[in-house]
Amino acid sequence: FSLCCFLFFVWVPCLINFVASVPLKSNEVQLEVKDHVATVVSTLNYENKEDKPLEAVFVFPLPGDAAVCHFSAQIGQTHIVAEVKEKQQALEEYDDALSSGQQAFLLEESDQSPDIFSLSVGSLPPGESASIRLEYVTELAVQADDGLRFCLPTVLNPRYHPRAVAQIFPASLVPYSLSFSARVSSPRPISKVESNCSLEPLEYLNADQTQATVGRELMAAGHKFDRDVELLIYYKDAHQPTAVVEAGQASAKPGSLMGDPVVMVSLYPEFPQDVMSSLASRGEFVFLMDRSGSMNYTRISSARDTLLLLMKSLPMGCYFNIYSFGSRFEHIFPTSVEYSEKTMEEALKEVEKMEANLGGTEILLPLKHIYAQPCIPKQFRQVSSKHTGVAPTLMPNIVLTFGIGAGASSALINGMAKEGGGHAQFITGTDRMQPKVMQSLRFALQPAVEDISVSWDLPKGVSSTILSPPITAMFQGQRSLIYAQLTGQTSEATDGCVTVKYSLAGHPSQNQLHFNLKPAEDTGLTVHMLAARTVIRSLESEQRTHRGQQDEEVKKKKVVELSVQSGVSSSFTALIAVNKDVGKAVQGPLVRRNIPTPFYGIWNCKGAADVDQICLYFSFYVTGPVVTHEAASPPPRKDPLLQLVSLQKASGCWLLDADLAAALGKASEEVKKAKPASVNSEVWASILALIWLHGFKMDAKEEWELLTLKAASWIKAQNAPCVSECVEAGNTLLGCSVKKEDLGL
């Protein structure tokens, strides 16, 4: 403990001296949301208060699927707009400019992760200011509760095996300020906007509530950089398919992506109710849990509770296994086993023992092991992964991912889900893990959608080229995005149609969308840039997976050409701006200043990139008391909901015993005495459990809804007499007024 204090007090003055000289003073962020597309303009204001010229380097996070499309600098009356160039060429031009005393500005994507960027402001003379304008566009991800999620990353935690790319500092010591404002517009009314930060109330700008502003004074007192800025936007009638046609760029060559019109189609498949009314009774479910050091006591406890809910919600007839990982990995069963009372109880006993004691975050090895296992005949494999950092890999089956905490890599979490044809969710701030995980399990339990194909019906003379990767998975009510380039002209019909066909539970189905080919107004080139970003990311992914050097060079050349043509950044290009105005060269050697990047979590005392190698003495002061791995076992579970859930059997029923009575808050004899004579004990116990959940825990319905569907199915399969009488007696016993229909009976 003495050593801890000594190191802490030695470091702090050094940090304070460093941050006092940081030239970045503020970051002003303006967000404009149109339906499900966001345009973000970030203005970074620099000032050199030192007596020597500076080069300021700022490494910061951006959304992993963002299309960076504009970068410019304002120095006094001089405005310089950056150009997209091949990365090595841009780096050489930047170095040459600094060597000759010119001001230069460079923005490049990290080689390690597409959600990390580096901004270099070179040759900023003493006493001079500069404003850097950075603009990007991105699609807003649809959450399981139909909200559209926008995240402004402000926290950069180390990624999976990157080089040391940032000068990271505790969030509380970051010296620059952040302001934020947002404007939202949509063809549909805006229901609400939620945020994890303090916001001014939502202000509607018109009577039909399709335009609104929010967050004008966000963080007026100074953002603490202890979280990313998150907005959740909810529209009325959210599941409406749309198509936006955008005219090409007048100066671009006809036949090119930027020269032709591009259509962005948003589809929300609606599956027949009779198919959706029954959950899947088969499938292989593999749960992969992070047990590295970053999963502190609270997170690991929440993960254990989540696995309890997952285990109780699985259908009979499926197969499952549970993996956990850190520097090494473990699995409960050698191979996936059939779900039964015996295997469920065995798994839960092991889950209760799980601690955050496996070291680092090495997720690639367990993933390789999972996908090396042969699939079980007639079982569709689904992988659920909870982590703070992951390595991407190609995945042939459904993958559901969850990013936990501030600073999680959106590129990796979204990338895993996308490659695995699944769904990603982020669990931040005070979010409970259980509801979001259970929402995603609903997707996994939906009937499998197979044989997906897309066809176009366009007027004569007009053809389409699909720019998006093939759709590999579809979920009820979840958006599928398609970008297509439209070539040719027609003076006749102005309508087109896109049809998505697929097989659902063995039955052929389809969804259609008719749309007008007339280009929309006031979209600029947003759709084109998003389409270009989609093609660039696909080519980059193909370039990484092809082993032949010739193929890699061909893919790289295509990426560079499209990046330069569209103005959208890529891993092989950079944006470069040089102030070539005739004037006096900046004199004297440059002093490099690394802008501190906010880091929130556990500090690595060894300087390594792995967030999970814990430096206990520093995290003690930054994040509060640390519970070491040798701590005593947690006390028995006291949460009434989890106590009741833990008593459910794999089949879906409950037993009539003293434990159930205690969970219901009743004496055992009282519960037995209230049972109608003609009903067996398990049916009575199960109906009581359902009544208690519906009567007292409706606020947590998302957590227990799946397991109650299983319970209701079990009760109906018993053909028990007097169910209505049981429900009435149960209401009387528990003091509730739940209807039989509400219980699914």
- Helix, strand, or coil here: 429? coil
| Alpha carbon 244 to chain centroid, angstroms | 25
Q: Among residues 646, 532, 598, 568, which one has the least CA distance to residue 264?
A: 532
What pLDDT is attached to residue 157? Answer: 63
Amino acid at position 706, single letter:
L
Write the Ramachandran bin of 378: left for phi over 0, alpha for psi from -120 to 50, otherwise beta.
Answer: left
**Rg (the chain; Cα; Å):** 28
Q: Compute φ and ψ for 284, nearest 5 degrees.
A: -110, 120
CA-closest candidate to residue 670, choices 683, 660, 680, 679: 660
What tokens does 512 get?
Answer: 């259609």
Residues 6+ apart with CB under 8 A from 549: none
For tokens 């198509």, the residue is: 243
What digits encode the pLDDT tens for the residues 598-641?
665 543 333 333 332 222 222 222 222 222 333 344 444 568 99
Q: What is the pLDDT of residue 491?
A: 63
The architecture CATH gives domain 280-445: 3-Layer(aba) Sandwich (3.40)
pLDDT score, position 382: 64
User: In what helix (H) or strand (E) does residue 463 lie, and over which residues does it extend?
Assistant: strand 463-466
| Residue 652: count of CB within 10 angstroms of its CB | 21
The Cα 376–Cα 367 span in angstroms is 17
Range picked from 103-117, 377-391, 499-513 for highest mean pLDDT: 103-117
pLDDT digits (tens, 9 = 90+) for 437-464: 888 888 778 777 888 899 999 998 899 9
| Per-residue pLDDT at 276 | 66
The most confident of 270-279, 401-410, 468-477, 684-693, by mean pLDDT:
684-693
Beta strands in 197-345 (DSSP E): 203-204, 211-218, 229-235, 242-246, 262-267, 284-290, 319-325, 329-331, 337-338
More confident residue, 387 or 197: 197
Instruction: Give residue for tokens 């791995």.
Output: 629
- Residue 630 has a pLDDT of 38
pLDDT at 638: 67
Model confidence over 130-182: pLDDT tens digits? 999 999 999 998 887 888 989 888 877 655 443 334 455 555 567 788 888 89
Rounded to an integer, the average pLDDT of 29-39 is: 94
Mean pLDDT of the chain: 82
Given a cut of 70, whether residue 735 has pLDDT beyond it is: yes
**Residue 385 to residue 378: CA distance in whole angstroms:** 23
Cβ within 8 Å of residue 320, ≥6 positions away: 284, 285, 286, 287, 311, 314, 336, 337, 339, 343, 347
> What is the distance between the alpha carbons of residues 25 and 49, in angstroms, rounded to a whole number?
11
| Of 269-278, 347-356, 457-466, 473-482, minimum mean pLDDT range | 269-278
pLDDT of 737 strictly over 50: yes
At 604 the pLDDT is 35
pLDDT category at 390 given cuts 50, 70, 90 is: very low
- Point out which residues pair with 402 in neighbouring strands: 386, 425
Distance in angstroms (rounded) separating the CA atoms of residues 203 and 182: 11
Per DSSP, the three-state class of 677 is: coil
Q: Region 571-575: what's the mean pLDDT?
A: 95
Asked if residue 742 has pLDDT above 90, the reply is yes
Residue 659 DSSP SS3 = helix
pLDDT at 375 over 60: yes
pLDDT of residue 600: 52
What is the location of CATH 3.40.50.410 in the chain?
280-445
pLDDT beyond 60 at 230: yes
Task: Enter the tokens of residue 447.
Answer: 């009937």
DSSP one-letter code for 588: S
Q: In the prediction, which pLDDT does 278 show?
A: 57
Which pLDDT score, from 0 to 100, does residue 312 have?
A: 93
For 293, the 3-state DSSP assignment is coil
**Position with higher pLDDT, 263 vs 589:** 263
Partners of 29 in the beta sheet? Answer: 42, 180
Confidence at residue 69, expressed as pLDDT on a 0 to 100 scale: 94
Length of the chain: 745
Pick 427 or 290 by higher pLDDT: 290
Tell me the per-residue pLDDT of 293-352, one tens digit each, with 9 for 90 and over.
877 777 888 888 889 999 999 988 889 999 999 999 999 999 999 999 999 999 999 999
The pLDDT-based confidence of 74 (bands split at 50, 70, 90) is very high
User: What's the pLDDT score for residue 615?
Assistant: 23
pLDDT tens for 538-564 read 998 887 665 566 778 888 999 999 999
Provide the token pair at 515: 């749309």
Cα first-last separation, the chain = 60
pLDDT of residue 126: 92
Give residue 589's pLDDT band: very low, low, confident or very high (50, 70, 90).
confident
Q: For 695-722, what is each residue's pLDDT tens digit?
A: 999 999 989 999 999 999 999 999 988 8
- Virtual torsion, Cα 301, 306, 311, 315, nearest 10 deg: 180
Grade residue 408 by pLDDT with cuts at 50, 70 and 90: confident
Q: What percent of the chain is modeled with pLDDT above 90?
A: 47
Amino acid 133: pLDDT:
96
Q: How confident is the model at residue 397 (pLDDT cuts 50, 70, 90)?
A: low
Q: Which residue has the tokens 């500005």?
A: 105
State the pLDDT confidence band at 386, using cuts at 50, 70 and 90.
low
Residue from 235, 115, 228 nearest 180 by CA: 228
Percent of the chain whose predicted confidence (pLDDT) is above 70: 81
HSE at residue 555, side-chain half, CA atoms within 13 A, is 20
